[in-house]
Amino acid sequence: MKHWMRTLMYVSVLMIAVPVVAGEGVGVGESAPDFTLTDTAGNEVSLSDFEGKTVVLEWLNPDCPFVKRHYKAGTMKKLATTYGGEGVVWLTINSTNYMDAAANAKFKAANDLPYTILVDQSGEVGHLYGARTTPHMYIIDGSGELVYIGAIDDDPRGGKGDGAINYVAAALDQALAGNAVTTAETKPYGCSVKYKK
């Protein structure tokens, strides 16, 4: 009992002295914060340019083996093409500190990507959204609300083949049908985003 009382006294003191700091990033159900970045051609692109549309944000680092595997398999390109036909906008953001517009343009050309790569060398937008891994996926519905945050699929080791569940495809299907996204959050996997120090 005495031990408990002492503990509670420490609790009181410490809770006053050191409050827990809130984490950065965004959460499912929140409004997606607007941002403006430049694409590989130097054009400014803002999230608000796509008001009313469903938008997918993909965090990219072409040097990351997980990203390489998905690009070799065409995962992102197939999704962007398939759902692009239904009006979904695909924006890829590269927050890697050492990758400038030219490096991203080279990757876009080499992979013949039909979507925009936005350059975020400062990491400002990555930190704004709390992007931790490459890939790290976000889906914003037509009302501007985040409806999915997490991994691209349930196959971090890449061994499931056709049995893998693509969380982004599943979430887009539900969101486009006007339904709530069932699996709205998953733990992202991949390399850490190589932010500027």
Q: Which residues bind other proteins (CB under 8 A)?
A: 3-4, 7, 10-11, 14, 18, 20-24, 28-29, 62-66, 68-69, 98, 103, 123, 127, 132-133, 150, 156-157, 181-197
- Count other C-beta atoms under 10 Å from residue 65's C-beta: 12
Q: Are strands 137-140 and 55-59 parallel, antiparallel or unpaired?
A: antiparallel
Whether 174 contacts 77, CB under 8 Å: no
How far apart are CB 122 and other proteins at their closest, in Å?
11
The Cα–Cα gap between 15 and 13 comes to 6
The distance of closest approach from Cβ of residue 168 to other proteins in the complex, given in angstroms and rounded to an integer, is 14
Give the integer Cα–Cα distance in Å for 183 and 72. Answer: 26
Q: In whole angstroms, how close is the CB of 68 to other proteins at the nearest point?
A: 5
As a whole number of Å, the end-to-end CA separation of the chain is: 48
Cβ nearer to other proteins, comparing 45 with 61: 61
Give the nearest distance from C-beta 70 to other proteins in angstroms.
12
Nearer to other proteins, 50 or 195 (CB): 195
Q: How, if at all, do strands 89-94 and 146-150 pair?
A: unpaired
Least separation in angstroms between residue 117's CB and other proteins is 15
Q: 85 or 157, CB closer to other proteins?
A: 157
Minimum separation from the CB atom of position 156 to other proteins (A): 6
- CB-wise, 170 or 176, nearer to other proteins? 170
| CA pair distance 105, 130, nearest whole angstrom | 24
For CA atoms 29, 120, 113, 68, the dihedral sign is negative
Nearer to other proteins, 7 or 81 (CB): 7
The sign one gets for the Cα dihedral 185, 191, 194, 197 is positive
Would you say 4 or 85 has its CB closer to other proteins? Answer: 4
